[in-house]
Amino acid sequence: MQEQIKNHTKYYFSSVINSYSQIFFSDNRWFGILLLLASFIDPYTGVSGLLAVIITALFTKWFGFNNEQMRSGAYGFNSLLVGLLLGVHFKLNLPFFLILVLVSLLTLLATVSIASLTWKNKIPFLSLPFLIVAWIILLSARNYSALGLSERGIFTINELASLGGAGLVNFYQQINSFPIPLFLEVYLKSLGAIFFQYNILAGLLIATGLLICSRIAFSLSLIGFLTGYFFFYYVQGNVTEMQYSFIGFNFILSAIALGGFFLIPSAKSYLLVILITPLIGIFISAFSNFFNIYQLPIFTLPFNCIVMLMLLVLNLRSETKKLDLVLLQQFSPEKNLYKHHNRLERFKNDTYFHIHFPFFGEWFVSQGHEGKQTHKADWRYAWDFVVTDEMKKTFRIPGTAVTDFYCYNLPILAPAAGYIINIIDEVEDNAVGKVDTEHNWGNTIVIKHSEYLYSKISHIKKHTFMLPVGSYVKKGDVIAYCGNSGRSPEPHIHFQLQATPFVGSQTLKYPIAYYVRHQYGRYFFHSFDYPEENQAVSKIFTTKMLREAFYFIPGVKLNFNVTTSPLSPLPGERGDSRQAGGVRWEVFVDAYNQSYIYCHTTKSSAYFVNNETLHYFTDFIGDKKSLLYYFYLGAHKILLGYYQDMELTDHLPIVNFYSGFSKVIQDFIAPFYIYLNADYKMKFTKIDDLMHPTQIEISSEAISKVGRMEKRKTEFILTVKDNKLSSFTVTEGDIIITAECIG
Amino acid sequence: MKKLQYERPVIQRLNTGVMNKFGTRTEYAPVTHIEGNAVKDLIEKYGSPLFVISQRVIEQTYRDANRAFKTRYPKVQFAWSYKTNYMNAVCNVFHKMGSWGEVVSGFEYQKALNNGVPGNKIIFNGPDKTEEELKSAIQNNSMIHIDHLDELYLIKELATEMKARPKVAIRVNMDTGIYPMWDRFGFNYENGQAWDAINKIMLTDKIDLVGLHCHIGTFMLAPSAYGVAAAKLSDLALGIKKKFKKNIQYIDMGGGFASKNTLKGSYLQGQDTSPSFDQFAEAITTAILNAGFVEDELPLLILETGRALIDEAGSLLGTVISNKRLSDGRRATIMDFGVNVMFTSFWYDHKISPAQEFSQYTEDAVLYGPLCMNIDVIRENVTLPPLKRNDHVVVHTVGAYNMTQWMQFIALRPAIVLIDLDEKAHVIRKRETLSSIESEEMMPKHLKEFKL
């Protein structure tokens, strides 16, 4: 019972708060509460708005609409606007409340139905439900004399005096009489007008909240408003619209929506805002003239039209041209931007199917993409591989027979799992130096990996195919042996990816998932890259122990004993000793199949991916002083195969790494230039035994940089022992945190 | 014009009839230099006879072998077979290139440790390991390859006593279709001894079975035999996985790969008949890859090949002592080296080249060593140009076994020189002196003085 009440309270609380913050495209609770307070500057309006949301939340449950949509505020904010509107326009009496209930219901129905239509086209419904309901109620109310028109908007001071006495009136007048430029006054009042509070105080509150919540949204609101304001000024438009009906909020909302919320904030999106704003001005004038006939206000109609139009159109492009739509809404322009950057840097390749080299050991690319010899025109995205010795020779003396060539008769592996769909197996090997142009490809195998992705390997030795057409092969299975058939003067493997199943199909530019390049006796890690001519390469082999140590499947529990030295709580957490002692982690998987480590001690989550070659973290939510946060940084990207001294690098998302003043400044200019960097490096430093290792040491570091200047360096040492994570050490300046895994 | 060299006249019988398909074969291209060092200078500086080892050839051969295996199988490790050539410098050339150590006695084990090979990268083979040696191997976490049950029991006792968990493998012998079958080492596969030993190990918790080992013979000319052996070991490994849920970490295929030497009685030259590393690699890796392991659980493949890696890198330089005629009229040439330093001449017809220019005339000869023993024959029949006293010869492909099986009999053992990659010669073992022979000798007091 108690649990039920708690759940109910949570539902209504979230629904109300999020409905407020949603109006400014945010999910920040504090901002929501601030907006709620701002709406209560005219208490009757505030009450009416609040009631409308609660009624809507009730109806949502009653009908059984998607509770999550209500909880997130998506179903609530239109009702809130309608409620505020009614509160401003009409006197509060009994018939008013009846109408409020009915109108809230109507808004919910309008919201749900309009959402179902717009979401199909991947556009938001914005405040369209509010507009429709508002017009309906304003037109119909003319016939209901029980609903008295309120005069509150007109005699604000009288009302304030009745509420808070002389003190409040003085405060209000002080603020109002504060000498501020006209445009700023109009800006603030326009902000307030979004909540039907046509005063500077409300505007100030909202502006402050906006600034705290999002620097980008704040700067966009100013840019949008000023552009619109000066456009009106320049074309000598009807400035009264701006000064008395504060219709300028259309500029503000559109600027935030297009500049940073639905699009990734960038110089281009800012430019778009400046370009589009005059259009909104034109819409405002046009709609005003039209709706004046019916004596209806246009509210946010221009904003709705422009934003929906833009989003609908932007969705239909074939290229994003650096004007990217937000795919996974974070409800904060900053988060959208930083995570987008991080995704581009880190996960741009996540959609590729993992293709690996079709051979064991170190091979040499004798012809790469767009090669000089044969990789031309439609067949330019192919590779030729041979085996060479230290003199870069491909054969042993005398090199007159195919059997003298190092790669001849070496096993060829399946580059990825798939079905064998085509095999040619009747071409004899050529003598060295001869080519068989009649059977261009020689003996060939085509494997289907997925729709529109096939791999083709050619010049195979006759009668060495291990499996017939139709067989399923796993990644790394031996499928045939290298030969010298077809247009091949010396034994080699021809490897290409293609979108169609035929021998001779056009090639497809498609990267090799992970591989190691060998140079000067050192290893270099490549991910989703294209091996180039004259590079020596090999495929990645993973180490069982590392695979097992990072095998975090749902249900895995990790407990740590944490000690810090010098004896103190974690850095920056003086006096708070949550971390000292034990830390409990557990692995879960969410509804979207994203795995994450959850820290029971600090209620933090670190999202990760394990693709059998790499373990990497994708996101972190929670306490940035927790051990899990340090683990998120230190094990940001771990290769699951031991390669001595091979370095892996990555970028840490700055939204998860920085805070404080430098981040605030960065936020303002982030759409144009990101000067804060956070780099990640990882390498294996120790192994006790290459063959059957029992202990591997991984060292990594997270370096924060301003421009190119190194600011802070945090070093990590991860020890894996007997197939398990055994200890984790963080060194930051003179503070050392040691966590021992105790099962 | 260069002064023509005097060569004594030769009477040669003219053969009539059809030529055989090889023509009259001679081996008389002179080898005047080894890796840029004149034979004459080397002998002058370091004495005759003299063993010369080429680091370049070692490295090249190692890389060939490595490539042959690593392009066919994901996890390959070589372990240098100390008994083949345990000159520390030679061992270190291999260790520098990544080889582990494979030893068959306590003293070799100590040598490997002294060379700096970590204990857990030494494989301890052989039927004779003393209790002390086993203790040291257990302490150093080395891989101990068990040869017989008595050794197994001893290790078990030592494990209890030392409270350690020794890492062991068992040596398995098997029928791979070749003769002779080496069934005196390890446990037999076909009659179930191998399983008996595996069960005994797996049923005690005291010993960790990490690998399986075989060594099917020596100077193997049939790669297919390795295929059979690899298949049988894989079968055991998969059987262990099935029965005990334990992954065998490595399969050690031992050594025995033939070098390019020519065996006595062989009709064709070793150069032509000995299989290449690729052929051995193909047989072994194909068998393991097709055995049915999951890709992730493929065992490490260890190779202990010695002879094929070092034989060609070694040469022996020598000097003619005298020429004479035997009773049947054959010519005999006496060299300053014999079976005492070239033990392998019991098995091989070593290729021998003169080290100086000569004319095209050749003569059949018997090549004798310097010992006053009838068995001291280097080549029973060799076609060489007439050699004079103090002429030099180069014996090829002597890098394996000679420097470990040589005897101090009648003569002292020669120096060994290693020529590095910059063609610089380094003495890696000095010529023996009387004191090196006598250093371990003791004289009882009552025998110290005598009067004649």
pLDDT above 50 (res A573): no
- Asked if residue A166 has pLDDT above 60, the reply is yes
Place of tokens 């840029």: B36
Q: Which residues pair with A687 in a beta bridge?
A: A696
Is a pLDDT exceeding 80 seen at residue B90?
Answer: yes
The span from the CA of A591 to the CA of A600, in Å, is 19
> B-chain residues within 8 Å CB-CB of A389?
60, 63-64, 67
Contact assignment for A544 to B296 by CB distance below 8 Å:
yes
Is B290 within 8 Å of A478 when comparing Cβ atoms? yes
Cα angle value A315/A321/A323 (rounded, 5°): 60
Would you give the DSSP letter of residue A574?
A: T
Residue B74's nearest CA partner among A149, A312, A475 is: A475
Mutation target to probe the A interface, by most A beta carbons within 10 A, among B59, B63, B67 is: B67
Q: What is the mean pLDDT of residues A542-558?
A: 89
Query: Looking at residues B260-286, what average pLDDT do you find?
Result: 90
pLDDT at B24 over 60: no
| pLDDT for residue A160 | 67
Distance from the A724 Cα atom to the nearest Cα atom in chain B, whole angstroms: 18
* Closest of A687, A605, A615 to residue A650, by C-alpha: A615
Identify the structural domains of chain B with CATH numbers, from first to last.
Answer: 33-52+312-433 (2.40.37.10), 126-303 (3.20.20.10)
What is the band of A576 on the pLDDT scale with cuts at 50, 70, 90? very low
Q: Report strand pairing: B167-173 vs B208-213.
A: parallel
* Closest residue to A691, CB basis, from B77, B295, B297: B77
What pLDDT score was predicted for residue B321? 96
Over residues A157-174, mean pLDDT = 71
Helix (H) or strand (E) holding A730: strand A724-732
**Closest residue to B71, CB basis, from A410, A542, A691:** A410
The size of chain A, in residues, is: 743
Out of B99-108, B176-185, B355-364, give the one with best mean pLDDT: B99-108
Name, in order, each residue with C-beta under 8 angstroms of B137's C-beta and a sequence gap of 6 or more: B109, B119, B122, B124, B129, B144, B166
Read off the pLDDT of residues B280-337 as tens digits, 9 standing for 90 and up.
999 999 999 999 888 778 999 999 999 999 999 999 999 999 999 999 888 899 999 9
Residues A56 and A70 sit within 8 Å (Cβ to Cβ): yes
Q: Is the pLDDT of residue B16 over 60?
A: yes
Model confidence at A577: pLDDT above 50: no
Mean pLDDT comparison of A24-28, A729-733, B277-281, highest-scoring range: B277-281
- Across chain B, mean pLDDT equals 91
3-class secondary-structure state, position B100: strand
Whether the pLDDT of residue B26 is over 60: the answer is: no
Q: What is the pLDDT of residue B396?
A: 94
3-state helix, strand, coil in chain B (%, to 5): 30, 20, 45
| CA angle (A624, A625, A631) in 5-degree steps | 80
DSSP string, A456-521: EEEEEPTT--SS-TT-EE-TT-EEEEB--BSS-SS--EEEEEESSSSTTPPEE---EEEEEEEETT
Mean pLDDT of all residues in B58-63: 95
**CB A531, CB A383: distance < 8 Å:** yes
Q: What percent of chain B clears pLDDT 90, i.e. is strictly above it?
A: 79
Closest by Cβ to A689, choosing from B67, B71, B120 = B120
3-state secondary structure of B69: helix
Residues in A 467-486 with any Cβ partner in B closer than 8 A: 474-478
pLDDT at B414 over 70: yes
Cβ–Cβ under 8 Å, residues B98 and B125: no
Report pLDDT for A153.
Answer: 57
For residue A727, the one-letter residue type is: S
For A135-145, how does the pLDDT look when each residue is reduced to its tens digit (9 = 90+)? Answer: 999 898 888 88
Give the pLDDT mean for A449-455.
93
pLDDT band at B25 (very low <50, low <70, confident <90, very high): low
- Higher-pLDDT residue of A59 and A235 is A59
Query: Which of A361, A407, A477 lies closest to B70 in CB terms?
Result: A361
Q: Which residue has the higher pLDDT, A240 or A197?
A: A197
> Per-residue pLDDT for B27 more than 70?
no
Burial (CB < 10 A; 0-12, 13-18, 19+), residue A503, is middle
Angle, CA of A43, A47 and A50, to the nearest 5°: 135
> Considering only CB atoms, which chain A residues are within 8 Å of B121?
689
What is the 8-class DSSP label of residue A212?
H
**Within A119-178, where are the H helices?**
128-141, 156-177
pLDDT number for residue A541: 86
- Residue A224 CA to residue A209 CA, distance in Å, equals 18
Q: Rounded to 5 degrees, what angle do the CA atoms A107, A112, A117 make?
A: 120
3 state SS of B367: strand
Does A448 have pLDDT greater than 90? yes
Q: Which of chain B's residues have a Cβ under 8 Å away from the Cβ of A690?
A: 77
Q: What is the token pair recorded at B145? A: 């390859």
Contact B71/A389, CB-based, under 8 Å?
A: no
Of A570, A606, A600, the closest CA to residue A584 belongs to A600
CB contact under 8 A, B290 and A410: no
- Tell me the pLDDT band of A16, cut-offs 50, 70 and 90: very high
In angstroms, the CA A572 to CA A574 distance is 6
Write out pLDDT tens, residues B338-359: 999 999 999 999 999 999 988 7
SS (HEC) of A694-719: CEEEEEEEEEEEECCEEEEEEEEEEE
Cβ <8 Å between A362 and B250 = no
How much is the pLDDT for A241? 64
pLDDT range class, residue B445, cuts 50, 70, 90? very high
pLDDT at residue A578 in the model: 46
CB-nearest partner of B249 from A411, A541, A691: A691
- State the Cα–Cα distance between residues A235 and A223, nearest whole angstrom: 18
In three-state secondary structure terms, B302 is strand
Per-residue confidence (pLDDT) for residue A454, from 0 to 100: 95
Lowest mean pLDDT among B8-22, B126-140, B331-345: B8-22
Angle between helices A128-141 and A77-89 (to 10 degrees): 30
- Percent of chain A with pLDDT strictly greater than 90: 43
* This prediction's pTM: 0.75
